[in-house]
């Protein structure tokens, strides 16, 4: 191991989660047994299980740079922590994904993914059918607007038919745009 260094004026730092970083125990340790490089480590007390373990100072600082919150929890306690205990806000009830679909936070729903979110158009179709949708069932937006989740705008179709339909619609849009460009050249 290495020598203990006193580098901070305050020897401990209590985090919002209740975990404690003992800065006065700072020492240099090898990252891996096969690697000759060393990094500074400090002792951290997990508030939940009260276990003390060595944590790389690099991990503490990089979590602050990534704009995430270092909780001080050990791996097992971190897995079992709630959103609020991790220092994060609860997910929004309704949000638009990067692909333009609306997702709803509803962890109790049988169609929810591992984050507890469900696509709103699948919820509407499930309500219309009176049963949860299977993962292989596809819902198509008739008008092409992914945010228009009215029941009369949605249609349940086979996955292969949905893929063909989506490709044909994309090709149709591409050809329309090409026709418009040619029209502007002629005018």
Structural domain boundaries in the chain: 12-80, 94-186
The answer as to CATH 3.90.75 being correct for domain 94-186 is: yes
What distances in angstroms separate CA 16 from CA 20, 49, 53, one per listed residue? 9, 16, 18
Q: Do the beta carbons of residue 92 and residue 105 sit within 8 Å? A: yes
The pLDDT value recorded for residue 139 is: 93
Classify burial at 82, counting beta carbons within 10 Å of its beta carbon; exposed 0-12, middle 13-18, buried 19 or more.
Answer: exposed
Confidence of residue 80 (pLDDT cuts 50, 70, 90): confident
Question: Between 179 and 74, where is the model more confident?
Answer: 179
Mean per-residue pLDDT of the chain: 82
Confidence of residue 163 (pLDDT cuts 50, 70, 90): confident
Confidence of residue 90 (pLDDT cuts 50, 70, 90): low
The pLDDT value recorded for residue 182 is: 92
Q: Best-predicted range by mean pLDDT among 67-71, 84-88, 160-164?
A: 160-164
The pLDDT value recorded for residue 1 is: 41
């Amino acid at each position: 191991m290495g020598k203990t260094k006193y580098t901070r004026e305050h020897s401990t730092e209590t985090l919002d989660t209740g975990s404690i970083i003992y800065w006065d125990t700072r020492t240099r340790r090898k990252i891996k047994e096969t690697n000759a490089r060393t990094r500074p480590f400090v002792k951290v007390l997990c508030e939940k299980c009260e276990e003390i373990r060595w944590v790389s100072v690099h991990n503490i600082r990089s979590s602050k740079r990534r704009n995430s919150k270092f909780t001080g929890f050990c791996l097992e306690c971190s897995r079992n922590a709630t959103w609020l205990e991790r220092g994060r806000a609860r997910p929004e009830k309704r949000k638009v994904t990067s692909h333009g679909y609306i997702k709803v936070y509803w962890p109790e729903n049988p169609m929810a993914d591992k984050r507890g979110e469900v696509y709103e158009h699948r919820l509407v179709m499930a309500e219309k059918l009176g049963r949860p949708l299977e993962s292989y069932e596809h819902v198509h937006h008739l008008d092409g607007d992914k945010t228009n989740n009215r029941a009369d705008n949605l249609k349940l179709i086979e996955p292969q038919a949905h893929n063909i339909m989506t490709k044909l619609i994309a090709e149709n849009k591409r050809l329309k745009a090409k026709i418009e460009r040619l029209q502007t050249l002629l005018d």
